[in-house]
Amino acid sequence: MSIINYSAEKKLLTVARGHPYDRGAFAALFEGLEDHDICHVEQPLAQRFLNPKGAREFNAIVCYDMPGVDFTSSGEGPGLVDPGKSVISDFCAMLEQGVGMVFLHHALAAWPAWPEFAEIIGGRFHYRPAHLRGQAWPDSGYRHNVRHRVTRLQDHPVTAGLPDHFDMTDELYLCPVLEDEVIPLLRSDYTFTGENFFSAAKAVAGEMNSREGWSHPEGSSLVGWVKAWGNSPIVYLQGGDDVEALGNPHFRMLVQNAVRWVGGEAALDWLKEYRDTVNQPLAPADPGHAQ
């Protein structure tokens, strides 16, 4: 765990691990947030903070982690780790208490054995075939080093200061996105169909950049959205795979805007309107366990 102390007014917790990342490039994402004290922690130690007591001191939490996926499993595909009742209840209670959440890139693959986590974040990347909302899905698709154009879909504090269009080179995902429960902010011009992606399950098995015998339904081109759960405003940004993507100035602006928005008063004022729009209750239902 590391702490940068600016003696600032707000506090930010950043959480990482579960996927290789460049620590320097990730830390640089937050340069410019001089109004925040920044605490960085990696999994599994991070679980000590992801509960009502641990999160209480933070205005916002950025998740760049992927808990719940065991790549050392000897079975077919990565093992799915059940988070257990205490992790689920702590996380849901934290969101009900209220803390701004920003999820980045591979966080979309976190906790695949916990069905409701996909509802919280707004989608799921599957490393092995799975069910989501009663529908069977193949393992998800990935594509590295995609040069694509991102379009800003609406004016929002998260997209403030960004041009209408900007370019990124990044890894993209072909996976389920729950478009009916998110407010779209960013869309890619890339074509999200199976022939443009590779099988995640094959990659884990050692067959990189392969789609032999694999197919996937056409996917969503959304690469950024906002939503909420309980009393917590949530932002998901699909970008941020590697040093080049993390260093993209537009992506850095997005992340810093997102941190400031989810941790500010404006997002709290927005919560009621959002819940009315999607008909989401104030307190989430009992989260349950994997199927």
Query: What size, in residues, is the chain?
Result: 291
- pLDDT value at position 290? 40
Q: Are 157 and 183 in contact (CB under 8 A)?
A: no
- pLDDT value at position 100? 97
- pLDDT value at position 278? 62
Q: What is the CA radius of gyration of the chain?
A: 18
Mean pLDDT rounded to a whole number for the chain: 91
Q: Are 255 and 104 in contact (CB under 8 A)?
A: yes
Half-sphere CA count of 91, side-chain side, radius 13 A:
23
Q: How far apart are the first and last CA of the chain?
A: 34
- pLDDT value at position 283? 41
Q: Which residues contact 162 (CB under 8 A, 6 or more apart)?
A: 152, 250, 253, 254
Q: Is residue 238 in a domain?
A: yes
- pLDDT value at position 171? 98
Domain that holds residue 246: 2-278
Q: Is residue 112 in a domain?
A: yes
Nearest CA among 122, 124, 158, 164 for reference residue 141: 124
- pLDDT value at position 20? 85
Q: Is residue 290 in a domain?
A: no
Residue 177 gets which letter from DSSP? B
Reduced to 3 states (helix: H, G, I; strand: E, B; else coil), residue 232 is strand
Q: Kindly give the parts of the chain with pLDDT less than 70.
A: 1-8, 74-75, 277-291
- pLDDT value at position 275? 73
Identity of the amino acid at 251: F
CATH at residue 102: 3.40.50.880
Q: Is residue 291 in a domain?
A: no
The number of folded domains in the chain is 1
Q: Is residue 93 in a domain?
A: yes
Q: Which residues contact 265 (CB under 8 A, 6 or more apart)?
A: none
Helix (H) or strand (E) holding 233: strand 232-237
